[in-house]
Amino acid sequence: MSEMIKVAAKSDSNKVAGAIAGMIRDGKSFEIQAVGAGALNQAMKAIAIARGFVAPNGIDLVCVPAFATVEIDAQERTAIRLILKTA
């Protein structure tokens, strides 16, 4: 099972990018989860930044988006899951 990085609207995209780059370098399987437009914006910025971190090592990132249903405060919400793969 892959690990999950949960991104919020208030997440620091540079810190998230560092976590993404570290997991990619370690060869770990993971997904990013975002709920809401602000969170998705921070997640996408983090992926773009992380791509810049790993590109000098010849690693390119591919992002595959998917919908997921999550429960937050006893309510079902739609989340975006971003599956990252290397190319």
Q: Which residues pair with 81 in a beta bridge?
A: 33, 66
Total domain count for the chain? 1
pLDDT tens-digit profile of 19-57? 999 999 888 888 999 999 999 999 999 999 999 999 999
Work out the percent of the chain whose per-residue pLDDT is above 70. 99
Give Rg (Cα) of the chain: 13
Domain hosting 47: range is 3-86
The enclosing domain of 12 has a CATH number of 3.30.110.20
Work out the percent of the chain whose per-residue pLDDT is above 90. 78
User: In the predicted model, is pLDDT for residue 1 greater than 90?
Assistant: no
The gap between the terminal CA atoms of the chain, to the nearest Å, is: 21
E-strand stretches of 1-87 = 3-7, 30-34, 61-72, 75-86
For residue 31, give both structure tokens.
Answer: 């997904």
Using DSSP, how many helices (H) and how many strands (E) does the chain show? Answer: 2, 4
